[in-house]
Amino acid sequence: MECLKELGHPSFEPIIAEYFDGATAIIECSRGHKSAFILQGQKFEILFESGASALLEGYTIEAASSFSAALERFYEFCIRVFRVKDGLDEIEFATTFKEMAHQSERQLGAFLYLYLQNFGKAYQVKPKLVTFRNRVVHKGYIPTTEEAENYGAQVYDEICDVYRLLKSTHADHIIKAVSAEMRDRGKNLPPNMPMSTFWKASFFSFAEDSPEIAFKEALTLYKDRQEKLSTAIPEMSALNKIVDMTIKTTPENT
């Protein structure tokens, strides 16, 4: 945006930024403009894409572990949506959740109760998902590519099923929960720095009313997108140089 203000047109300069648990990054273009970047994607979405990347690279343990973590963080996301719905104070909720943050069993228990309270029916935990997860995480089992992909597909279907129900009854609360997460992520960024947010999920397009697709199709689309992005980077760099040279050689700039 700062380049747009200065040049009068968008910059085509590709910028690669690393992000980690905070889902934020400070980026700087070649003209010295700095800005903060916040991912809108929820933790479970980011973890699931991390699992997809690992799966495509052949790292089946890492893929299965990321898929498992994504499901656990999805349970947490649901809990946070229910928190908004019940009007509970953010600080008090954070204090309470901290007591169970390091024990997935406690978080699952909280989710099970809140699911029953909000939907009037019991949530059915899938034993096969739990068994497979424990074999990989606790026993060091190295799954085949097919096993890791099947596990990812089951986790994907589970998240989609629950989210569909959640959105049908808590759409406004989902938006507020996501907004609260964005505010929380921005607290540690430098003040008065230009800020932008973006997230185009390859698997869970929850911000859009797009039709659901099967896991394998979503995985293929994700792979295609990553390949196109890699191919586009040198082309964008070349385009950026051409635009700069054109501007510098126009009569009004000479």
pLDDT tens, residue by residue, 45-70: 999 999 999 999 999 999 999 999 99
* DSSP 8-class letter at 20: -
Which pLDDT band, with edges at 50, 70 and 90, does 254 fall under? very low
Summarize the confidence of residues 83-92 as an average pLDDT: 94
pLDDT of residue 71: 97
Residue 113 has pLDDT above 60, yes or no: yes
> b vs e for 1-30, b when ≥16 Cβ sit within 10 Å of the residue's Cβ?
eebeeeeeeebbbeeeeeeeeebbbeeeee
Residue 239 one-letter amino acid: L
Question: Percentage of the chain surpassing pLDDT 70?
Answer: 92
Residue 252 has pLDDT above 70, yes or no: no
pLDDT of residue 248: 63
- Cβ atoms within 10 A of the Cβ of 123, count? 16
Nearest CA-CA partner of 218 in 200, 236, 234: 200
Would you state the structure tokens that stand for residue 84, as one six-digit string?
């908004």
Which pLDDT band, with edges at 50, 70 and 90, does 158 fall under? very high
pTM for the complete prediction?
0.86
* DSSP 8-class letter at 179: H
- Alpha-carbon distance 89 to 93, whole Å? 6
Mean pLDDT value across the chain: 88
Which pLDDT band, with edges at 50, 70 and 90, does 85 fall under? very high
pLDDT tens, residue by residue, 218-238: 999 899 988 888 888 788 778
- Count how many Cα atoms sit within 13 Å of the Cα of residue 16 in the half-sphere of its side chain: 7
Q: Which of 61-65, 161-165, 241-245 is most confident?
A: 61-65
Which pLDDT band, with edges at 50, 70 and 90, does 188 fall under? confident
- Alpha-carbon distance 52 to 25, whole Å? 22
Q: Which of 25-34, 121-130, 198-207 is most confident?
A: 121-130
The residue among 133 and 39 whose pLDDT is bigger is 133
pLDDT of residue 177: 94
DSSP string, 47-107: HHHHHHHHHHHT-HHHHHHHHHHHHHHHHHHHHHHHHHHHT--HHHHHHHHHTTTT-HHHH
